[in-house]
Amino acid sequence: MVVTGVGAVSPLGTGTDLNWRRVLEGRSGVTRIDRFPCDDFPVRIAGQVPDFVPEDWVDRKDVKKMDVFILYALAAAQMAISQSGLVVDESNGARIGCIVGVGLGGIISIEETHKAFLDGGLRKVSPFFVPKIIGNLAPGQIAMRFGLRGPNFAPASACSSGAHGVGEAFRMIRDGYLDAAVAGGSEAAVAPLGIGGFAAMRALSTRNDEPGRASRPFDAGRDGFVLGEGAGLLVMEEREAALARGASPIAEVVGYAANDDAFHITQPPPEGRGAADCMRLALEDAGLDPGKVGYVNAHVTSTEANDANETAAIKKVFGEQARRLAVSSTKSMTGHLLGAAGGLEAVYTALALRDQVLPPTINYEVPDPLCDLDYVPNAARAADVEFAISNSFGFGGTNVCLVMRRAERAPGA
């Protein structure tokens, strides 16, 4: 299974190359919220996409028919398909699917429409309201735009949604149901209710005076996650078919697993049991010895429990090798994109394998005794890595692990 194209929209900007350059520079995309009044909010920072122009990706007349999360997904899909060189036509469209995970869906449009309804009644409700807010219209709009007639759906598994999208596409291609797929996640929840809901849970950082330093995974001073938005999508294809048409693989997906903690609605179980089991299952699915893994793109969100528990889970799976593993969190730069996080982090992991350079964990300043691994602190690092893992864990105990491989070392390449 090869990844032949990727697309990224994030708080670091619109465009894959721009995203990757800023990741390797260790840039933060977290800023003061500027799209709605929030002076009376306890949280006044977020990872907002700074430069997205919908009309660059969608006809002006169609913009009003789509929520922001759908627009982000369409842009990322166009990037990924363009890079892949995959031509979709009547002969192959039925064998190409689209699986895009979405967590909260069209919360921005829900807020706007509810206000319009209260102010002006039912006549103010757009006929496009429902198609704007439901999660499956992210992959649905992509399918209609590009003629993808294979299976099309939107996993809704909180912060694992995007990774579930990648994993289920991988499984469908491997099992022969599809030849190719566009997969990943999209989310746009930087809205009063999005910020307010997570703030009410006391899940968000309140480092309002230092936005760029607020997301600080593994650091002893972490005080909550930063809500972000965007999309990360990959074009995945059966390897031999991709090579036969002259594609240039970015990386391979070689293993996938999903499970559940069955423990708590928001908290992970002690010592990261579910996460550890998920990583083991994914390695088994890939037929891979843990000792072959050189890098982990961690799920860690910059919260006290999640960061310590994922560290413990990594130790359980890798034993003494955990001390030699490179582990980093790109959420330190993007914030937490909820349903889009797993898709975007799979994009970053694929690019790390392609370029043999590991993203940093920025804002790592004060070590935490419970988080004592190599977190690639504050600066990107050149590395010789053949296999990498991308983890995604979500509310409800849902866990996903993806195993990826450097493309140039694929068997027969």
159 tagged catalytic? yes
In this predicted structure, the answer to whether residue 409 has a pLDDT above a threshold of 60 is no
Structure-token pair, residue 161: 């949604």
- Please list, residue by residue across 110-122, b when 16 or more beta carbons sit within 10 angstroms of its beta carbon and e when fewer do: bebbeebeeeeee
| Residue 413 pLDDT level (bands cut at 50, 70, 90) | very low
What's the whole-number mean pLDDT along residues 197-218? 98
Number of other CB atoms surrounding residue 370 within 10 Å: 14
Class of domain 255-405: alpha beta
Q: Where in the chain is the domain with CATH 3.40.47.10?
A: 2-244, 255-405
- CA torsion through residues 88, 94, 100, 104, sign: positive
pLDDT at 250 (0 to 100): 98
Please report, to the nearest 10 degrees, the dihedral formed by the alpha carbons of residues 127, 132, 138, 142 taken in order: 40
**Which burial class, exposed, middle or buried, applies to 270 when counting CB atoms under 10 A from its CB (0-12, 13-18, 19+)?**
exposed
Check 164, 299, 371, 401 and give the catalytic one: 299
What's the whole-number mean pLDDT along residues 353-376? 98
In this predicted structure, the answer to whether residue 411 has a pLDDT above a threshold of 60 is no
Amino acid (one-letter) located at 302: S
pLDDT at 270 (0 to 100): 84
Concatenated DSSP letters of 103-127: SS-SHHHHHHHHHHHHHH-GGGS-T
Check 159, 278, 371, 401 and give the catalytic one: 159
pLDDT at 93 (0 to 100): 97
Q: Is the pTM of this model over 0.75?
A: yes
| Helix 304-318, helix 273-286: angle, nearest 10 | 40
Number of other CB atoms surrounding residue 284 within 10 Å: 12
Q: What is the pLDDT of residues 187-198, one digit of tens each?
A: 999 999 999 999
Concatenated DSSP letters of 23-46: HHHT---EEE--SS--TTSS--EE
Catalogue the long-range contacts made by 198-203 (C-beta closer than 8 Å, 24 or more residues apart): 198/43, 198/225, 198/227, 199/41, 199/42, 199/43, 201/266, 203/266, 203/303
Beta carbons of 154 and 101 less than 8 angstroms apart: yes
Q: What is the pLDDT of residues 251-301, one digit of tens each?
A: 999 999 999 999 999 888 888 999 999 999 999 999 999 999 999 999 999
**Which positions ≥6 away from 339 have C-beta within 8 Å?**
101, 102, 103, 104, 135, 156, 158, 159, 161, 162, 185, 186, 187
Whole-Å CA distances, 344 to 7, 187, 234, 334: 8, 11, 9, 10
> What one-character DSSP code corresponds to residue 338?
G
98 tagged catalytic? no
Q: Which of 193, 190, 181, 117 is nearest to 149 (CA)?
A: 181
The CATH number assigned to the domain with range 2-244 reads 3.40.47.10
114 tagged catalytic? no
